[in-house]
Structures are given as structure tokens and as C-alpha cells.
Amino acid sequence: MDKKLVEALNRQLVAEYYSGYLYLQMAAWLERRNLKGFAHWMKIQAREEACHASIFFNHLASRGAEVVLDKIDAPPNAFKDIADVFEATLEHERSVSRSIDRLVELAFEVKDHAARILIEWFVTEQIEEEASASEILEKIRILGKEPGPALLAMDSSLAGRAFSLPAPLAEK
């Protein structure tokens, strides 16, 4: 495998773990505010991010490339309100999408079609991730500053989210 691509995939692997840390920190913030459904949604996000890291790990390892696990920065732990949590979530997912786009470009540049195919799965995944975060944020914004019972109904709804193993791991 091309050295630049291996380094970039390793950076993405670590970035996916950071995403999991971020979402666990957000879950903790939500738990402290007794928003258990929102916290549950974030915990599922964290599990998905760990799976995404595993997908990159598996790809690198299966191709004989060196896997390098670097340090994971501490995520922010203070948020103004629930809208701030989901604004940060959406911005983070947009950042991940930009990173995935750069990986696609690099895979094309070095003509690594196996990596390109794998990374293209993430392109589609990021569309879903951004849409999900955006939808929740827009609902929170509709509720306004004093959401009351509507926020509790939304919290209850998010508690029903189920985890499913991402396709690249389920296929193994």
C-alpha cells in the first residue's frame, strides 16, 4: 500500500475513535441532565464510531499495512444547552465528511481501488450521519428555548434507537 494512504487511513482510524470519545462525553453531559434518550442516542453513535475505527483497522491489517494507534485527544465536556450539543455533533460529522472526501481523493491519486471502494462506503455513511444529526438539531430548534413536554417526548423517542453492526463488519 502507498505510504501516504496508510498514514492517512491510520489518522482516520484514530479520528474515528476520537468521534466515539466525543459522543461518549456528550452522552455523559446529557445523562447529567436526565435526558436518557438523548444520551442513549449518543452512546449508539459512540459504538458506531468504534466500529468505523475497526473497519479501517481491519482493512489496513488485511493488506499487510502497519496499524498505528496514536493518542486520542480529550473531547470538550461543556455545552451551553442541548442545541449546542447537536450543533457540535453536526459540525463534527461535517468535518469527518471532509476527511473522508480527502481519503477518496488520495485513494484515486495513488490508484488504490480496494481502499477507494472501502472509503466510498464511508461517503454514503457520512451522508446518513449528517442527515441524522441535522434532523435532531432542527427538531430541537423548532422546540425553542423552552421545549418542555415536547423535549421529553423527543427524549423518549431517541431512547428507542437500536445499534446495528455496520455492513463492512457484518460481512466478515
Helical H segments across the chain, by residue range: 3-32, 36-62, 82-109, 113-143, 149-158, 167-170
Is 171 or 169 the better-scoring residue by pLDDT? Answer: 169
What pLDDT shows up at residue 149? 85
Task: Find the CATH number of the domain harbouring 66.
Answer: 1.20.1260.10
The answer as to whether 48 is a domain residue is: yes
Largest CA distance in the chain: 54
Q: Sorting pLDDT into bands at 50, 70 and 90, what band is 145?
A: low
Q: Sorting pLDDT into bands at 50, 70 and 90, what band is 144?
A: confident
Query: pLDDT of 35-46, one tens digit each?
Result: 999 999 999 999
The answer as to whether 50 is a domain residue is: yes
Query: pLDDT of 12-67, one tens digit each?
Result: 999 999 999 999 999 999 999 999 999 999 999 999 999 999 999 999 999 999 99
What pLDDT shows up at residue 172? 60
What average pLDDT does this structure show over 92-110?
A: 98
C-alpha 120: how far from its chain's center? Answer: 15
**By three-state DSSP, how is residue 24 classified?**
helix
Number of folded domains that form the chain: 1
How wide is the angle at C-alpha 169 spanned by C-alphas 164 and 172, nearest 5°?
130
pTM: 0.92
The answer as to whether 54 is a domain residue is: yes
Return the percentage of the chain with pLDDT > 70, whole number.
97
The answer as to whether 134 is a domain residue is: yes
Domain that holds residue 44: 3-146
